[in-house]
Amino acid sequence: MNTKEMFFCDCHDLEHHFIVSTWDEVDDDLLEIYVRLRNDFPWYKRVWFAIKYIFGTDSANFTVVLLDIENAQRLAETLEDFVDKRAGGSKD
Ligand SMILES: [Zn+2]
């Protein structure tokens, strides 16, 4: 079973979200975190963002995500569940 948890930034900007994804069936000790850039800008703006990114003048597209306590707790539970399943429940 694939489990996906979506986390939203406390600033409520939809660009500042990420998804944590794990699979029960896959024998893989990797957890995926999806961070996406907006792609709904016109092409010329995306080219401009790319140029600024290449020259390191703007990092606004990769910015901070602020998690409130509820989301932080949910993230901790998601990571703990993943580690428990993959590491054989080694806590305690
Ligand atoms: Zn934010």
pLDDT digits over 4-39, tens only? 899 988 888 777 788 898 887 766 778 888 887 667
Rounded alpha-carbon distances, angstroms, from residue 27 to 40, 69, 83: 35, 31, 13
* DSSP category for residue 60: T
pLDDT in tens, 37-92: 667 788 998 888 888 888 887 665 666 788 999 999 999 999 998 888 888 755 45
Instruction: Name 85's bridge partners.
Output: none
Count CB atoms within 10 A of the CB of residue 47: 11
Ligand 1 centre to CA of 65 (Å) is 5
In this prediction, residue 40 carries a pLDDT of 76
Q: Is 79 exposed, middle or buried (0-12, 13-18, 19+ CB in 10 A)?
A: middle
Ligand 1 centre to CA of 58 (Å) is 16
In this prediction, residue 61 carries a pLDDT of 62
Ligand 1 centre to CA of 10 (Å) is 6
Ligand 1 centre to CA of 63 (Å) is 8
Choose among 11, 28, 30, 9: nearest CA to 20.
30
Ligand 1 centre to CA of 71 (Å) is 13
- pTM value > 0.95: no
* DSSP category for residue 4: E
In this prediction, residue 73 carries a pLDDT of 94
